[in-house]
Amino acid sequence: MTAALTTLIILNPHAASGQAGRMWTDLEPLLWRELGELVVVVTQRPEDVAPHLNTAYDAGIRRVIAIGGDGTNHSLVNALLQINAAHADRERMVYGNLPVGTGRDWARGIGMPTRDLGAAARWIAQATPTALDVGQLVLDDHTEFFLNIASAGLGGEVTARVNRTPRRRPWTFLASTIASILTYQPPVLRVSLDGQPWQEQRAFILAVANGTTFGHGMKIAPNALPTDGLFDVLLVKAVQKLEILRALRRVYDGSHLTHPAVLHARASTVTVESSLPLRFEMDGEPVTGRSAEFRVRPGALDLLM
């Protein structure tokens, strides 16, 4: 079988508290049947990913599928964008993800089966490459890319709390969100959209969305499209915490957009500043800073959809 028809599998066996590794025995023969010839690489750390992708690209492999959680997904997206940029005049690598992490929100947002890995494998085998937008976060001197959603404020606090949880359960994100709301003191955020001032006020969260869903099923941006060259931007104003808790259930069906505390718009560039250090998260990966710029990179990644 030629390299062009070979699929590189990046397996993080520790994802979802080791669930990925335990599932691999059953999943491997299914992937051989559905995808054809495989090259399987087991990674332990995010920084292990890029060298394997470079080797695969040089060998002529153009399809890579990750088996892991949000951290694995985030690492692959950043590494793939670097490889494709380095070979801008050649065929791009195509990416797919079989989700076994706690959130599985990107997969949920694009309609991939999330409870049955076998069904997800069959889904991805029938998928075709689609050019999708990618978000770029420039934070002080640091630049990273995100596929799904990035946020500032409460989202970063929730991510930090989730990451401190030794064993995550389906309710971990909701419990961490409630605990964070009760303790978080909203700072003043100064937000501009496409170079124009938009809001300057105390706010719980600024969400910059390429995809629709985060936090294990929260449809924070139900109308977001990763193919329109725009972010869906949401700001939740600082109101009474009891009011935020009462409205929290509405995030799961997207009806929160009509709540008076929720402001939303669309833009290709978003900047945020605060007088205090802010916690940010990108696809569940945490960073900290005082100011940041989010930029859309239209059609930057070919993803199996």
Please compute the mean of the pLDDT values over residues 48-71 and round it to a whole number: 90
Q: Is the pLDDT of residue 193 over 60?
A: yes
For the chain, what is the domain count?
Answer: 2
The answer to whether 52 and 22 are in contact (CB under 8 A) is: no
Last residue of one domain, picked from the residues 90, 109, 127: 127
pLDDT band at 3 (very low <50, low <70, confident <90, very high): low
* Per-residue pLDDT tens digits for 261-277: 999 999 999 999 998 89
Q: With H, G, I as helix, E, B as strand and everything else as coil, classify residue 84.
A: helix
pLDDT of residue 190: 98
Q: Is the pLDDT of residue 121 over 90?
A: no
Predicted TM-score (pTM) of the model is 0.93
* Per-residue pLDDT tens digits for 150-164: 999 999 999 999 888
| Structural domain of 244 | 135-299
Q: How far is CA 137 from CA 134, 177, 182, 276, 280, in A?
A: 10, 23, 28, 18, 10
Please compute the mean of the pLDDT values over residues 13-39 and round it to a whole number: 86
Last residue of one domain, picked from the residues 127, 143, 165: 127
Please compute the mean of the pLDDT values over residues 170-176 and round it to a whole number: 88
> The CATH number of the domain where 165 resides is what?
2.60.200.40
pLDDT of residue 28: 92
184 and 84 housed in the same domain: no
142 and 94 housed in the same domain: no
Measured torsion, CA atoms of residues 289, 46, 146, 38, in degrees rounded to the nearest 10 = 180
pLDDT of residue 1: 43
Count of C-beta atoms within a 10 Å radius of residue 141: 6
